[in-house]
Amino acid sequence: MNLFVETLGFGIVSGCVIALGAVGFSVQFGISNVLNVAYGTFLTLAAYLGYLLNVEHFNQWLSVVVVGMAIAVLSVVYNRLLPGRLMRRGAGFVTTLIATVWAGIGMLYVIVVIAGPTARTYQVDNGRTLTFAAFVLTTSQLVVIGAALALMFAYHLLLTQTQLGKAMRATSVNPVVARSCGIPVSRVIDAAWFISGLLCGMSGVVLALTTVTFGSTLGTTFLIYMIAAAVFGGIGQPYGAMVGGLVVGLATQLVGAYSSPAYEDVAAFVILTAMLLVRPRGLFGTAATRSLRLAGG
């Protein structure tokens, strides 16, 4: 029983990190209708940038914010140069998808050439170990949970209580109508990619902090987890991605605890495959034409 409860604690931590990345992935798709496979490479880049700051003894939590902002800016530039430009020129969904795959592979090779193939290890201050009933968590893990919940709540407020959030929801439903109503769609798309890049960068650094030792495959591996979470909740549905992240995090940790950590990736694949077969539009998806959209409430 203790193993089960302890695993639940680790699953919640893992789920929060996966949920952040999955929400960022869903925001990109919900606004732009772009399945950005290069998202995994941006996760890897964030981990390496965080490592550079870690080597310089930069505060580990401040580095999460700094790298998140850097990836956010890079995300906007990337969208303007590649997916956004292709979409404006009339490229189809598959063409844009292939372009993001090409971009992701190209950027990953550049990272490997510069950083080298060897794994890197963060110097992490996990703080004190705290026990709640049978839950055993460090203060660092509690910070991750608290920060993830705060960011998710802040994103909820953005969607439901701000003009930008309303513009994002309108753009995700029908960008043509949104533009005719005076909404600056191009700026809204930039804002969406900035937000998704911010979440991607922050989750990439936190992933590296929680795994401690990482390599160039970090982003590719966890992209599967995040896609599984996004598909579980309904890709393009940020609230669904939050729920999906927790489900995937808990499921993979339980499988790793009761069988082998090598099967954690398999658990994510099983969740992804099962949802695609049973309910392709996801748990919170709808059958509407633009069902893959931001569900801002």
pLDDT at 285: 66
Q: What is the pLDDT of residue 286?
A: 59
Contacts of 289 (CB under 8 A, 6+ apart): none
Helices (H) and strands (E) in the chain, counts: 12, 4
Instruction: Give how far the C-alpha of residue 249 lies from the chain's centroid of Cα atoms, to the nearest Å.
Output: 13
Q: What is the pLDDT of residue 240?
A: 87
* Ranges of residues in the chain whose predicted pLDDT is under 50: 287-297
Q: pLDDT tens digits, residue range 268-286? A: 999 999 988 888 888 876 5
Give pLDDT, residue 293.
44
Query: What confidence score (pLDDT) does residue 48 get?
Result: 96
pLDDT tens for each residue of 17-73: 999 999 999 999 989 889 999 999 999 999 999 999 999 989 999 999 999 999 999
Q: What pLDDT sits at residue 105?
A: 95
pLDDT for the residue 289: 35
Q: In whole angstroms, how far apart are CA 49 and each of 38, 63, 70, 193, 217?
A: 17, 9, 9, 19, 15
Q: What CA–CA distances, in Å, run from 186 to 35, 90, 93?
A: 18, 16, 18
CB 9 within 8 A of CB 136: yes
Q: What is the pLDDT of residue 162?
A: 93
**Continuous segment of H or E residues that includes residue 138:** strand 135-138
Structure tokens at 66: 């700094």
Q: What is the set of domains in the chain, with CATH numbers?
A: 7-278 (1.10.3470.10)
Between CA 26 and CA 173 the distance in angstroms is 14
